[in-house]
Amino acid sequence: MAEIKDNIYGYTTTEIAELLLTGDVKKYRIDQLFDWLFQKHENNLDDMSNLPKSFRTKLAETYDFSLPHIINQVESSDKSIKYLLELVDGEKIEMVLMPTDRKTTLCLSSQVGCSRNCTFCATGKLGLTRNLTTAEMIGQIVLAMKLLKPEVLTNIVFMGMGEPFDNYDNLVKTLQILADTDGLCFSPRRTTVSTSGIAPMIRQFADSGVKAKLAISLNAAIEDKRCELMPVNKLYSLQQLKSAISHYLAYNKYKVTFEYVLIKDFNMGKEDLKALIKFTGDLSCKINLIPWNRVEGLDYQSPTQEEVDEFRTAIMRVNKAVTMRQSRGDDIGAACGQLAYQNYINKG
């Protein structure tokens, strides 16, 4: 049986340097390695031409340099591309690249499946198989950067399969490597972590000193409605969530984004609007409205364009930044709440 080697992308640059400097490797060689891994996005040792063969041999014997393997990809009419990726143990995840005229965003996964079971989301119906490692999350980012060349990845959102804060330690390490000037050197201003509302972990994240924007999947500001949509609310109430968000804002200059999925005849009434305004009114935030994307087998309805426009007009009367997320990749099951959609249907 072949020896299982640690993946190089699971280490911070400090850890890599400490491991390699224990031998006879010079510091400048490590800097050259970092340049190949994190700036040139090269994971093939044979192509790292300025590294001595003896060094490359040592690296190959010690570390795994592989990235998640693409086993399928499908392109949307809006040019978004969903990738089905296979991990080293055969488990599968999805990531999505979403280009626009001004930017290109990667939506990456943090878990195989998800345990939070939000009732409007296909991924939650799969249940949780396991957390992704740091190497598997960084691997998605490096893979996306390789695929985009010569274009550049401008934004990263942890909004794919999984609840990022349920994989907290690996998430934080991923964000550290992502922002590290010797690592991927990616701006925290262009990195967003989306959570269903794990209040204690929001507080812990605020205290960690690791910087990233925060998006909260809110979807209802009335207690019983949010409990119906999102079982996490039975553990951490809206009051606890708001307190945790206020704590986060005390340590971060970034506004919080509230994601609000618009579901016909459920969370778009006058009482819902009033509750949303009250909940967000005294917070530094913006509100992102998302018409629900159809998932076969789930008993919800998408609102009409007229209903969406009416809700948006009403909420924009409040002194908050309100955006409308355009559904990207809906025709390929890559839109918000649809990841693992086909897996869910096949499983059902």
Give catalytic status of residue 336 as yes or no: yes
Region of residue 90 (left: phi > 0; alpha: psi -120 to 50; beta: else): left
Give the CA angle between residues 142, 69, 295 to the nearest 5°: 95
Amino acid at site 264: K
Cβ(56)–Cβ(308) under 8 Å? no
Give catalytic status of residue 285 as yes or no: no
Of 94, 136, 163, 259, the catalytic one is: 94
Residue in the structure block whose two tokens are 């309100």: 322
**Pairing between β-strand 213-217 and β-strand 256-262 as defined by DSSP bridges:** parallel
Q: Identify the sign of the CA torsion 191, 208, 198, 348.
A: positive
Residue 193: strand pairing partners: 158, 214
Taking the C-alpha atoms of residue 34 and residue 25, their distance in angstroms, rounded to an integer, is 13
Q: Which residues have a Cβ under 8 Å from the Cβ of 306 and sit 6 or more positions away? A: none
Q: Which residues have a Cβ under 8 Å from the Cβ of 277 and sit 6 or more positions away? A: 315, 318
Q: Identify the sign of the CA torsion 125, 126, 132, 137.
A: negative
Q: What is the largest CA-CA distance in the chain?
A: 69
Q: Which residues have a Cβ under 8 Å from the Cβ of 205 and sit 6 or more positions away? A: 165, 168, 172, 193, 214, 248
Taking the C-alpha atoms of residue 284 and residue 8, their distance in angstroms, rounded to an integer, is 39
The catalytic residues are 94, 336
